[in-house]
Amino acid sequence: MSIQEKYDSFVEYTRELSALDAAESLLAWDQQTYMPPMGAESKSRQLATLSGIHHDMLVSDTMKRHLDELANGDLDKLGEDARVNVREMKRAYDHASRVPTKLVRDIARAQSLGMEAWAEAREKSDYKIFAPWLEKLLKLKCEQADAIGYEESRYDALHDEFEMGSTAKRITSVFAKLRDELVPLVDRIVNSDVAKAQKIPARDYPRAKQEALGRELLTAIGFDWKAGRIDVSAHPFCTGNLHDVRLTTRYNEKDLTQALFGLMHEGGHGLYEQGFDPAHQGTPRAQAVSLGIHESQSLMWENIVGRDRGFWKFAYPKLQKHFAPTFDSVSPEEWYKEINKVERSFIRVEADEVTYCLHVILRFELEVEMIEGRLPVKDIPEAWNAKMKDFLGITPKNDAEGCLQDIHWSHGIFGYFPTYALGYLYSAQFYNQAKKDLPGVEDDYAKGEFGRLLGWLRKNIHQRGMTYAPHDLVKVVTGEELDTKYLIDYLTKKYTPIYEL
């Protein structure tokens, strides 16, 4: 059998694994959107079964044989794409083969039931309902980390699943620098005369009109509705790949920005998923390299583009049309300042650009303490509130706006949170480079033209899939290592004139 034939057989097996993963994602999407309340138990068994099958196939003798044959063959004849696919599947195999199938099934089942407990606890704002499940999930994930192995911190084994090559030590250093810049910037803004004078009147925003506006704006930036859809969930998310991308949001008829920018955010994720090369579907070459890079795409469209003056020169007439006559007496400049309001707030997904990363750093620091055994589950609400006070100067009134607001821990997802802030750092640095490569690109937005920016992202980030590790991709695209200065410069230049600092 030739090296090409061996590789083709390997790719077919890899695509079978990808199909199983897609089925798991679809079940999870159903659980958060349309599943009836009594379906949780059966859904947990379905997810656990598929997760176990996927794991068994990934660590099977068949996969080992494929990898061994390709490692012993002349893989260079097949080119870079083949090297990337073999390298990343070998990495996944090495990672998964250390974790027993029973543990994989136990985690999947606990994730499904833990999410249901979290939903009840959040609704009732009662952490004690969720705490036993968090204890169980934390124990299982620590077992997983120990099985995988690590050099410095148990946290690294879990975080590497989402941001390959990153470590708690490296993140701690980057985040400390970012926090030291952000905390005084927030103080200057919220204590400014402009901030003290801000009074935004309450308005009514019917859900149907929000949906219509959201779809129109996502269409404008390039989301393909033949390959995607929107639904509603308790916690907004994006799932799927290439030709089947599912977005969700949640609506608040007293707050337009929640769903509007939530959709721009998830739409950014969706554009990334729709932007891979279809020729490589089902392989690492058509998958996101990391959650941080994924988040860079959502934050770019939600904030850097979506809250830009030029964007709203194009979008404001559409806003007025959908909500007439609500905005007849509101100027575009007033709206621009309203959507760029900075304030100390409790909910991460609704936080403004300047305070957002502080919410993420808080969660990262707590996670590291939890995983390393320094923070007992029972003490999490108190620790959460203390850090919220230190970072943002406010204290949550209840568990729902405190430690129960995010769904991630109910899924057993530890090591994920830092990717949100890393994504913001990547986003600012990528966007800075895009402006250099695309002179006048920001002038395009006022005309409703976003193709040049999307094309740049397709070429430089989306279609490269997992070719480069995240830190290498930053260097390839921008010529530099990741640097906090680009995000700080962006925020400072934007908000200094808005708040007359």
Give the Cα-Cα-Cα angle 55, 245, 7 (nearest 5 degrees): 45
Question: Is residue 148 a contact partner of residue 454, using CB atoms and an 8 Å limit?
Answer: no
266 is catalytic: yes
Q: How many Cβ atoms are within 10 Å of 492's Cβ, its own excluded? A: 14
Classify residue 103 as exposed, middle or buried by CB count within 10 Å of its CB (0-12, 13-18, 19+). Answer: middle
Q: Is 186 helix (H, G, I), strand (E, B) or coil?
A: helix
* DSSP string for 76-144: GGG-HHHHHHHHHHHHHHHHHTTS-HHHHHHHHHHHHHHHHHHHHHHHHT-HHHHHHHHHHHHHHHHHH
Counted residue by residue, the chain has a size of 501
User: Beta strands 238-241 and 244-249: pairing type?
Assistant: antiparallel
First-residue to last-residue Cα distance in the chain = 69
Residues 6+ away with beta carbon under 8 Å from 278? 242, 243, 286
Q: What are residue 300's phi and psi, to 5 degrees?
A: -65, -45
What CA–CA distance (Å, rounded) separates 466 from 486?
A: 24
Give the Cα-Cα-Cα angle 128, 133, 138 (nearest 5 degrees): 115
Inter-helix orientation angle 101-124/127-148, to 10°: 160
| CA distance readout (Å), 401 to 164, 379, 394, 405 | 31, 16, 11, 6
Choosing from 88, 116, 161, 266, the catalytic residue is: 266
Question: Is residue 116 a contact partner of residue 334, using CB atoms and an 8 Å limit?
Answer: no
Q: Which residues does the annotation mark as catalytic?
A: 266
